[in-house]
Amino acid sequence: MDIGFIGLGNMGTPMARRLIAAGHRLTVFDTRREAVEQLVALGAAAAASPSDIADKVETVMASLPTPAVVTAVAGEVAKGKKVRRFVDLSTTGSQVAVENAAALAAKNIVQLDSPVSGGVAGAVKGTLAVMVSGPQADIDAVKDALSVFGTVFIIGNKPGMAQTMKLANNFLSATAMAATSEAVVMGVKAGLDPAVMVDVINAGSGRNTATTGKFPNAIIPRKFNLGFATALMLKDVRLCLQEAKTLGVPNEVMSAVLGAWEAANSEIGGDKDFTTVIQPIERRAGVTVGKKS
């Protein structure tokens, strides 16, 4: 199908590549010319702006970093003459999704919330969890294209439902990272080998996504290179806490986890890889979680 794709960052580029490889005809836009040129070399057409894309195709997908950017881009897409469907692959939270959906509906454009989970590696391999909510007819129209990214889960028919699902997922991922960091730092301080700790945890009841992937691949080797920024994870945890408060849900754990990510963001840097969340904990403990010589 003909698809417009806006946002060619760490996640957007591999997703767009997979769409092209699957035979879809893409028109792409990003503020960085070099990112657009990479996709044009693979067969995509370049657009001058989000509204230019929306003049050319009925289905526009977007993979963008923050709720504010998504809202701004959605406003530009709403000016298009041909667009009928806006598929938001970003993480914005349900409130922004509801507001954007209403604004687009005023222009007879349907929004589908379709955040994804699985990281850059999942985007490259096509193994993402793809959550989607919105009118069933529009989901049916794009489901084959979304399945190029991974497994599609239909969450519901109301705007924001898939966003709530994504925030719950990312909160658990953020919690696993923060909690595992404290546990492993504690062990290293006591003289344990972090690699052995991770092996034991993965064979036991503490196994989680941090111990199975992030620690052995990025933290213990001191690579910190999984391609997702600390500021983005902090944004997701903040959105989750905001949603919990809005819904009147207890959030003591969320609040504590938020503190760990705020520390990493302020002390290490929001632009650093999110696996650096362990570094403020290491500094306070006076140890480094790395390979034993």
State yes or no: pLDDT of 292 exceeds 90: no
One fold for both 2-157 and 164-285? no
Catalytic pick among 56, 79, 158, 166: 166
Mean pLDDT of 172-179: 97
Hey, which CATH number is domain 164-285, 2.40.30.10, 1.10.1040.10, 3.90.1010.20, 3.40.920.10? 1.10.1040.10
Question: Would the pTM count as exceeding 0.75?
Answer: yes
State yes or no: pLDDT of 180 exceeds 90: yes
3-state SS string over 46-79? ECCCHHHHHHHCCEEEECCCCHHHHHHHHHHHCC
CA dihedral 64, 69, 70, 75 (to 10 degrees): -140
State yes or no: pLDDT of 66 exceeds 90: yes
* Domain spans of the chain, in order of start: 2-157, 164-285
Q: Which tens digits make up the pLDDT trace of 102-112?
A: 999 999 999 99
Q: Is residue 30 a contact partner of residue 8, using CB atoms and an 8 Å limit?
A: yes
Confirm whether 166 is a catalytic residue: yes
Q: Which tens digits make up the pLDDT trace of 79-103?
A: 999 999 999 999 999 999 999 999 9
Q: Which tens digits make up the pLDDT trace of 142-155?
A: 999 999 999 999 99
State yes or no: pLDDT of 2 exceeds 90: yes
Q: Taking the alpha carbons of 90, 221, 271, 233 in that order, is the dihedral positive or negative?
A: positive
Q: Taking the alpha carbons of 54, 113, 108, 23 in that order, is the dihedral positive or negative?
A: positive
The pLDDT of residue 242 is 95
Mean pLDDT of 159-164: 96
For domain 2-157, say whether CATH 3.40.50.12160 is its number.
no
State yes or no: pLDDT of 293 exceeds 80: no
